[in-house]
Amino acid sequence: MRNLTRSVKLAMLFMVAAVACEDRLPPTITPLFPKPGDTVCAGDVEFYARVFDNTGVVEQVFFFSRPYLVAQGGLCEPDTYYVNWNTVGMTMNQWHDLKVTARDTAQNEAETTFSYYLAP
């Protein structure tokens, strides 16, 4: 009986430790280039963002203000992702939003939006 009690206590300690180590932090998203609020010129614009997470990023998606234009970011350096935005057909001399979402290995999600002025 004594060994059973000890085994139960060890099992409970393990369960508490496992819960304490659960990742609850979402990824962080930091724009690198161009900076939010910058003016970008019409044509192809490359956006770079750092997407970091302590357990690893499994998905990052860039959404542009053109309805439902979505692009999966490509990895160019550790934790740095880029996407190309073709602005052909977009309204010039107007602010446009770029929303970036990210998900980590523990399924925590982050989302942030940056605005850019599109000039001809």
* 75-112 tens-digit pLDDT: 777 889 888 888 888 899 999 999 999 999 999 999 99
Instruction: Determine which of 29-33, 47-51, 69-73 has the lowest per-residue pLDDT on average.
Output: 69-73
Residue 64 CA to residue 70 CA, distance in Å, equals 7
* pTM for the structure as a whole: 0.74
- pLDDT at position 120: 92
Is residue 26 a contact partner of residue 111, using CB atoms and an 8 Å limit? no
Report the alpha-carbon distance of residue 40 to residue 70 in Å, rounded.
19
Amino acid letter at 92? M
Distance CA 16, CA 10 (A): 10
24-119 topology per CATH: Immunoglobulin-like (2.60.40)
